[in-house]
Amino acid sequence: MNTKKELLFLRAFAFSLTAAMLLITTFAFKNKSTFDTIDVKRINIIEDDGTVKMLITNAENFPSKGDEVNGIIYHKRTKRAGLLFYTEDGKECGGLIYDGKKTEKGHSAGLSLTFDQYDGDQVMQLITTDQKVGNNRYKSGRLVFNDLGDNQTQETSTRIGEELNGIKDLNKRREKREEYRKKGMLGSVTRIALGQTPGKQNGLFLYDDKGKTRAKFIIDKDNSIKLIAYDEMGKVISTWPEIKK
């Protein structure tokens, strides 16, 4: 075989190999694949434009201080395994986190599923906690609804939090926090909770716009049913059944 024929042969071989690889790659990515087991540390579910819409991660790869998702730099927060949800414009809008471990005196475990106000923090949360310290065990589970300021955003909350932490005078810090709260730029207040408290009260709990308990309809650990209303100072103003004096 002369040099010219060898060159033609090599070209034809290279073309055939490239075409075969292209067909195999196209076929592989256009068809579903089935796996029995996949070991992975983190998965980003993305849109065609690259925007992350859901993130599934172990604790080590959970976005925390300095990490970037959708062009947003995260502040420091506890790393936990779970899922995070994102809006079409890349803002975090909720998630599922969980943990559980033995401790020196017992154990500590919990799970939280949250849904956020747009560009803000959680306004609805399903949460369970379970802590054991020595012979005492504290368990709770509840569905919680929160109020957030209308002008509160993820970016401003981080910035204001850093500003407040830098104010050493506690009175001035409280004044500044209240100033931002009145502007609707800071603050999360629980308004409704449905579930069980660590004290084994099962029922509905209502709070005012300052987060103070104003009413609860419960069945306690002794199976007694109670409806109790409170004033702004926390004093009982009405009960059912009426308290016998």
H or E segment and range at residue 19:
helix 3-30
Instruction: Match 């796996």 to its residue by tokens.
Output: 35
For residue 29, being part of any structural domain is answered with no
In-domain check, residue 9 = no
pLDDT value for 186: 87
The whole domain housing 164 covers 150-185
DSSP letter assigned to residue 143: E
Residue 159 falls inside a structural domain: yes
Q: What are the pLDDT digits (tens) for 45-99?
A: 999 999 999 999 999 999 999 999 999 988 888 999 999 999 999 999 999 999 9
pLDDT at residue 159, as a whole number: 87
Please report whether residue 24 resides in a domain: no
Neighbours of 212 (CB within 10 A): 14
- Determine the pLDDT at residue 147: 94
Residue 60 belongs to a domain = no
Chain centroid to CA 34: 30
Q: How many domains does the chain have?
A: 1
Report the alpha-carbon distance of residue 83 to residue 93 in Å, rounded: 11
With respect to residue 56, please indicate whether it lies within any of the assigned structural domains: no
In a domain, 134, yes or no: no
pLDDT at residue 119 in the model? 92
Q: Report whether 120 contacts 158 (CB < 8 A).
A: no
Query: What's the pLDDT at 79?
Result: 93
Give the DSSP H/E element, type plus range, for residue 21: helix 3-30
Exposed, middle or buried by CB within 10 Å (0-12, 13-18, 19+), for 32? exposed
The pTM of this model reads 0.79
The two three-digit tokens of residue 86, written as one number: 């994102």
For residues 155 and 119, what is the distance between their CA atoms, to the nearest angstrom? 8
User: Which phi and psi (to 5°) does residue 193 adopt?
Assistant: -140, 135
Q: Is residue 8 assigned to a domain?
A: no
Regions of the chain where pLDDT drops below 50? none
